[in-house]
Chains A and B, each alone.
Chain A
Amino acid sequence: MGALSLRQGLHLAAILGLLGAAAFPLYWMFVTSLTPSAELFADRARLLPTLSEAAAYREVFRTIPVATWLINSAIVATGTTVLSIALAILPAYALSRFRFRGKGVFGFALFATQMLPEAMLVVPLYGIFAQISLLDSLTGLILANTAFTVPVITWILKGAIDGIPIEVEEAARIDGCSRIDIVLAVVVPLVAPTLAAASVIAFFHGWNEYVFAQTLVSSEALRTASVGLAGFVGELSTPVHSVMAVSVIYTLPAVIFYLFVQRYVVSGMTAGSVKG
């Protein structure tokens, strides 16, 4: 009995250590954002937030165009999500339900897109976007990001559609529904949880994306939060606690959104990746 509880104690200690390591950098971001400047450079670090410093957040919104950055990021992320889902549903269904020539090639091409770095495609995309007037626009960013999310989402949705018994569709087919009707009216509602997961993944991609937003957009009014925040690297005039406050403001919506839907994200991701 004693040995058992020792083992349990070690197990719990290991888990607490793990959670501490996972949470600490984000906790530190938060603590720093709520520590007065002078205290940050004192001999001893403050390990707890100074809650009376909360006004610093209002100050950040006043002096830095954080609101504009967040709105731009939200537009890019939402656009990327909607367009990615719209483009991915039909190919996901086709990969799951049909046998056809070229299916293997298409499947491999989808996987191969995972190998392309944004930093590589940004050079030719810049030239292409210049010709079709997509430079310096949020639409351009949405279009560029979607190219990277469609393959992942197609793959995840295919995994979910594989799990739906074909009989469910047959009743609708006998009623004379077209394929598209079946996909929209029967299949989409059944994969709703996976669709939620796929949306989060696309949203995160748009919310986090940096290389395209840095290179394809030049107007200050169209700057996204990732680019705005990256501008603080090596820049010394903005106080550290303000930089961390902006980081918190940028991180928090993503983490909260994730916590709401994490159950679906985890099952969707693992279904997609484990089944390969």
Chain B
Amino acid sequence: MADERLHGSAWTPYLFMAPAAAYLLFFQGYPLIEELYLSFTSTSLLSPRDHTWVGLDNYRDLLATSDFHHVLWITALYTAACVVLSIGLGLLAALLLDESFPGRAIARTLVTIPWAAPPVAVALVYIWMYNAQYGIFSRTLRALGIASGTENWLDDPSLALPAILLTTVWQIFPFASVVILAALQGVSKEQREAAVIDGADRLSVFAAVVWPTIRPTVALLALFITIWSLRRFDLIWLMTQGGPIGATNTLVIELYRQAFVYRDLGRAAAVGMIGLGTALATTLVYFRYTQRAERARGND
């Protein structure tokens, strides 16, 4: 009896999990299964209860069109650029903020503020800054004589994706820098000093001592940024709605267009499932990679 009170009964963990598990099953699991089912049907937004079973037709049709190949390409480009640029800038910021200088605590706080700004407000201020005639970017480029300065970045097929990327990276690099800064506190001072005494320059110290310590954190960060980029909606939708001519049309934007512009819920669900499959595949690759890295470290 006393023993049971000490350890709890075998049911205790399940009782603790039950409310959250039931909640998530109802609000995420059930809709997800419904969405999976929809992806095998032809269903219109106008009569969402009438389904016609079409098997794999939605997937086949999507994968056969070059428009959808373009969506996949834009998604890959956007995601890869988000990962590389946010982590690159985040790492640079973290290394700068790791050294001691007057006002370091304030600087560390200020640099994270973009992360706290609501995406809808961020989209609006960037739309204004990208304005062709009166936006601050065009004005600056004109003043420097770099561009004629009359093109609206968000209306230009070759500039819209870079413009969206600049906005996204501005918003998420603070998160990367905070996480990397925390990982940098785990770098051994002794090893770093020993490397310096051995005459290593800053780059070699980074490669030999700092990078191996923070690499697992950077890998996890890359996974999270990948998953978030695959599902990011508000910023892109409000700034370009996926245009011009599909230049910023990622999977999630395409999903939303299929559902609410073309009113094809079956096709939209299939797009969603392909996005989900991509995220799952990335996660599996990540776990493979970390397991191999751990095993390699174990063999040393």
Contacts and interface: CB of A to CB of B under 8 A. Distances in A.
Check if A and B associate: yes
Interface of A: 8, 11-12, 14-15, 18-19, 21-23, 25-26, 28-29, 32, 40-41, 45, 87-88, 90-91, 93-94, 98, 100, 103, 106, 109-121, 123-125, 127-128, 143-144, 146-147, 150-151, 154, 173, 176, 178-179, 204, 207-208, 210-211, 225-226, 229-230, 232-233, 240, 243-244, 247, 250-251, 254-255, 258-259, 262, 266, 269-270, 273-274, 276
A232 B124 CA distance: 8
B5 interface: yes
Given A22-B110, A125-B27, A210 B174 contact: no
Nearest to B131: A240
B221 to A, nearest CB: 8
Contacts of B92: 18
Contact of A100 (B13, B178, B279): B13
16 contacts: A15-B101, A18-B93, A103-B13, A115-B230, A117-B233, A123-B265, A125-B27, A147-B24, A150-B24, A210-B120, A243-B124, A244-B128, A250-B120, A255-B116, A269-B179, A273-B179
A30 B82 CA distance: 27
Contacts of B99: 11
Nearest to A94: B16
B120 A11 contact: no
B32 interface: yes
B252 interface: yes
What 6 A-B pairs are tightest by C-beta distance, nearest first? A147-B27, A124-B31, A117-B231, A258-B116, A120-B272, A270-B182
Contact of A150 (B23, B93, B114): B23
B125 A26 contact: yes
Contacts of A112: 280, 283
B122 to A, nearest CB: 7
B18 to A, nearest CB: 9
A116 B116 contact: no
A113 B265 CA distance: 21
Interface string B265-276: 100110010011
Given A28-B125, A100-B14, A128 B30 contact: yes
Contacts of B220: 273-274, 276
Interface string B63-97: 00000000000000000000000000000110011
Contacts of B227: 114-115
A144 to B, nearest CB: 7
Given A14-B96, A98-B12, A147-B27, 15 more contacts: A93-B16, A106-B17, A114-B228, A115-B276, A119-B255, A119-B272, A121-B32, A123-B48, A143-B27, A226-B118, A254-B118, A255-B116, A258-B113, A273-B179, A273-B224
